[in-house]
Amino acid sequence: MASSGDFPKRPKTSSFQFASTFQGEDALRTGEWVLSQDPKYEGQEARVRVERCDLEGGVFHGDYGLLLDESHKHYGVGATLPKPVDNTGKDLVLQYEVQVRGGANCGGAYVKMLRGAAGEDMTTLNNDSPYSIMFGPDKCFRDTNKVHFILQHQNPNTNEWEEKHFGNAPKIKDDGGFHVYTLHIKKDDSSFDLYIDTEMISSGSLLADMKPPLVPPQEIDDPEDEQPEDWVTEAKIPDPFAVKPDDWDEDAPKKIVDEDAEMPEGWLEEQEEIIPDPSSTRPDDWDDEEDGDWEPTMIVNKACDEAPGCGKWEKPLIANPAYKGKWSAPKIDNPDYKGEWQPRKIPNPAYFDIESTEPSHVDPITGIAVEIWTVDGGVWLDNFVIGHDIGDALSLAEQTWRPKFKAFEAVKAAEKKQKERERAAKRSERGSNEAIASWNSKMMTTSRLLADKARPYVPAAAAPALDAAAENPIAVVGTMLAGMLVMILLSVFKTRSRSSSSSSSSSNRSRAKASAPPTEAGGDNEGSGDEGEGLGDDNHIKEEEEHEDEEEEEEEEQEQEQEQEQEQEQEQEQEQEQEQEGEGEENGEDAPVNNWDKVGAAADALEGEVEEPAPISST
């Protein structure tokens, strides 16, 4: 971004006949620029001031311009030239900078080059003040959008003043940024060029492209010549012998509604094309009795620019193939027709020989004024120059306008990237929401279908619960998952209980062996000694181990028997389901499965398998 050093404190303007850059002392306080005292602009003292350039970051805090601050107001302010500017035998160049803060919606930002006494006393400035040239941007929504170039030209024969408008005026720049407008009138061939931001946008000729023409026609119709009373100008007349056909329907409408039409995708029915500016505020000095009811500034809804349309959509009308309209007799040649009457021509008193004048010459400019009405507030103007060299004007623009333009474009580019990131985030969020909504919809459809199939097999008392489950499938899925988790936990608990029981039995047997009295061996042979006593212990341990093996084998056999019983029960249930399905197919419909019985059977089986946990020993 540019720094404050990019802007010259006092741009070089010595080559111009007039220049006002608003650098240095306040131009309103010094009297260089004067406010009109016409009642039309009453109160503008509080709305017009010299203010620094408004750009994010304050990079041009040293650049000052003329600010017309408030919206919905008339403004009249101007400067008297030190001496009149006469372009006899010379080119004429006008240039100034404009920023309409927030973007141009409805309002003018043009200037008037005043002539004669009108430019000598700015306190009397009004809409009727005579001027030589009016030039600059003007826009009002979609009705007006042009860079005006208007001449007030005096006819050398009649001495009457008449406005001549450039008919091919270009469009303005309305993005809220800084723009420079330049007009160059050439003395050699009476042509002219219009520049926006130092680029030539349009060109024309004072002799060929002004409306009405700069030079009036050489002959005109005689205003006193009258058409004879017996002059017949109708070439065709209705056939007096024609008769309307019997099948002619005069009441059929010309247009009918296109019933096949569909609203274009992306049409914004809830949006309006023109909306109130949310930043518009009622001025503190607004008087309803004098100024009327205050209304906020209306702006173009930018959302509509990216859509095929806004507002309520209605099916379009199309031509009615059955339409014939009101019947009328066909035309035939008029035997009394004499042709089109034309008045005789006479010399035009306003005509003048272009060779005797200098078309590029305009009446000497004595003042420059901003006399406008604007709905937009924040019209900032700067660097007014009048001279004879287009190169000097464009060079000045590169010094004063170009740095601001680059800085504004950088800010705008950063804002655009931020908006793109926000739009991408919204698109991603919208896609996720749509996926969730689609999944929910499918779940709802499936749950309702299953509920309808299960309804004939569900007891009447359970019907409300079935309906609730169908309308809230997510809760049902959650409940099923919770049930599965409980079954898994019970299975784990059962396994651990068995392991604990087995460990407890083994521990009890070990303690019993340790506390048992010695077993007598060899009958009355008590004197066998240590060798006989050790042999008795070994036999006892062996018997205990064999007993434990037998218990484990019995437990394994019981578990195998239980598993076989469960498998048989499952096979029986499958056979019953197949028989029910077969009966349903014979009846031409799907047989619903009674899932409630299956759940109950599974619960009973699970309950029978769970063992009580072994008591915890206190030792």
- Cα separation, 317 vs 535, in Å, equals 117
The residue type found at 376 is D
Q: Is 20 within a domain? A: yes
**Mean pLDDT, the chain, whole residue set:** 81
Position 582 scores a pLDDT of 54
> Any idea which of 338-342, 408-412, 594-598 has the lowest mean pLDDT?
594-598
Nearest by Cα to 134 from 158, 151, 117: 151
Q: Which two tokens stand for residue 422?
A: 């926000």
Asked whether the whole model's pTM tops 0.85, one would answer: no
How far from 156 is each of 86, 113, 190, 215, 357, CA to CA, in Å? 18, 21, 17, 10, 9
Q: Which helix (H) or strand (E) holds 453?
A: helix 402-454
Q: Is residue 486 part of a domain?
A: no
Please state, in angstroms and rounded to a whole number, the distance separating the CA atoms of residues 556 and 562. 10
Asked if the structure places residue 470 within a domain, the reply is no
Number of domains in the chain: 1
Q: What is the enclosing helix (H) or strand (E) of 332?
A: strand 331-333
Predicted pLDDT at 371: 96
Asked whether residue 80 is assigned to any structural domain, the reply reads yes
Section 521-543 average pLDDT: 46
| Spatial separation of the C-alpha atoms in residues 545 and 534, rounded to whole Å | 17
pLDDT band of 369, cuts 50, 70, 90: very high
Q: Whole-angstrom Cα distance, residue 248 to residue 323?
A: 9
Give the pLDDT score at 310. Answer: 92
Q: What percent of the chain is modeled with pLDDT above 70?
A: 78
Distance CA 143, CA 10 (A): 39
CATH at residue 167: 2.60.120.200
Is 331 part of a structural domain of the chain? no
Read off the pLDDT of residues 468-492 as tens digits, 9 standing for 90 and up: 776 777 766 667 676 777 777 777 7
Please report whether residue 271 resides in a domain.
no
Query: Which pLDDT tens digit goes with each residue over 564-593?
Result: 777 777 777 667 766 655 554 454 444 444
What count of other Cβ atoms lies within 10 Å of the Cβ of residue 161?
Answer: 14
pLDDT(520) > 80:
no
Which position has the higher pLDDT, 460 or 299? 299
pLDDT for 449 = 77
Report the pLDDT averaged over residues 263-283: 90
Whether the pLDDT of residue 151 is over 90: the answer is yes
Q: Quick check: is 59 in a domain?
A: yes
CA 160, 161, 167 angle in degrees (round to 5)?
A: 130
Average pLDDT score over residue span 531-551:
55
Computed over its alpha carbons, how large is the radius of gyration of the chain?
Answer: 50
In what helix (H) or strand (E) does residue 452 lie, and over which residues does it extend? helix 402-454
Residue type at position 246:
D
Write the DSSP assignment of 201-259 as a string of letters: EEEEETTTSEES-SSPPSEEE-TT----TT----SEEE-TT----TT--SSS-SEEE-T
Residue 157 token pair: 């024969």
pLDDT of residue 6: 47
User: 336 vs 442, which has greater pLDDT?
Assistant: 336
- Alpha-carbon distance of 131 to 151, in angstroms, equals 8
Q: Are 26 and 50 in contact (CB under 8 A)?
A: yes
User: Quick one: how far is CA 198 from the chain centroid?
Assistant: 31
Which of the four pLDDT bands, split at 50, 70 and 90, describes residue 231? very high
Which residues constitute the domain of residue 91? 4-214+359-400
Looking at the domain assignment, is residue 14 inside a domain?
Answer: yes
Q: Please state the rounded mean pLDDT for residues 372-379.
A: 90
CA distance linking residue 255 with residue 554, whole number of Å: 96
